[in-house]
Copies of this chain bind each other. A is one copy, B any other.
């Protein structure tokens, strides 16, 4: 740091103490409203604090108290309403218990994961909730953090550790049901947009898709599974309409394009719908489409999007509650896993049974 100078100093407890003529402990008592202080002193102190524009130094306070009543949340794709909903629920649960929340973004790499973890640990947050996708570098660093006794809960991230709780929607079942729904409607050529067969092996939604096909003895055509390779992509996650759009165009250019598509999430589905429209095809008559998440926009697409609803709020709330338990318990807590049910929401984008 070549740049040394920082601004004018803030008033401290002892500045106030000096100005009033008491000990700083007395001022501390006034500020925190603890212990005995005479009404007279209290008023003098408050007056002085006000005049000096006193603001308590949280660093010193937290250093002394050994906890910060702050939790960090690491999000991948903040513009996905899923993340937002999650963050909102986490925040509410924490706020109700007197904790505050700092959000860090980690968009697409282990490096960013690590930066996020590091800055949170650095600020001595009392615990961390992580909702980014798993990756080797991040996992390794994370393991170190957990082993130094920082309470951690992961949401939807494939991270195995005896001291880390896990909350996730049932992506596998959700993916299965979405695909099953398309099969029930008579579709046989069903595409998947949002991952590759090689790269997306950890993607439960894709696995659900594959297992539904398998169950109905539909052969898996790897050309029907398309998506950008995440690990390579430098493009922020939110632009998944792009991915959906591109992916759909790839599918449409096949000699034998699918009659239905399961998109990895609603944004991807919206992008795909746009590509279908552009190609002059109709939804659901020519191509049926299912998304995932049930973001609030899903009901406003035209036609309204069939999708798998995941309980985002519940996920956030549960994760926050589990974390708080970890933070507040003095005993070791064994890993808990909560896989939450999803619900298929059928709207017009999948239409009715094909003849």
A-side residues, CB < 8 A to B, are 1, 3, 5-8, 10-11, 53, 55-60, 62-63, 66-70, 78-81, 83-85, 87-88, 91, 95, 98, 100-105, 107, 115, 118-119, 121-124, 126, 144-145, 147-149, 151, 236, 238-239, 241-242, 245, 267, 270-271, 273-274, 277, 296-297, 300-302, 327-330
Contact = CB atoms under 8 A, between A and B. Distances in A.
A149 B270 contact: no
Given A102-B102, A105-B91, A330-B5, A300 B270 contact: yes
Contacts of A122: 56, 58, 100
A51 to B, nearest CB: 12
Given A59-B62, A151-B7, A270 B297 contact: yes
- Stoichiometry (number of copies): 2
A126 B6 CA distance: 9
Contact of A241 (B7, B144, B300): B300
A103 to B, nearest CB: 4
A93 B229 CA distance: 26
B67 A59 contact: no
Given A70-B123, A328-B5, A330-B5, A88 B59 contact: no
A40 B267 CA distance: 55
B119 A100 contact: yes
6 contacts: A53-B144, A53-B147, A55-B145, A88-B107, A102-B102, A123-B123
A124 B241 contact: no
Given A3-B328, A79-B79, A300 B245 contact: yes
Given A102-B102, A104-B101, A300-B271, A121 B7 contact: no
A102 B103 contact: yes
Contacts of A126: 6
A57 B53 contact: no
Given A58-B121, A78-B83, A103-B104, 11 more contacts: A6-B66, A6-B327, A6-B330, A53-B148, A78-B78, A78-B87, A79-B84, A100-B104, A102-B103, A241-B296, A270-B297
B144 A115 contact: no
A114 to B, nearest CB: 12
Given A5-B330, A53-B148, A149-B8, A100 B87 contact: no
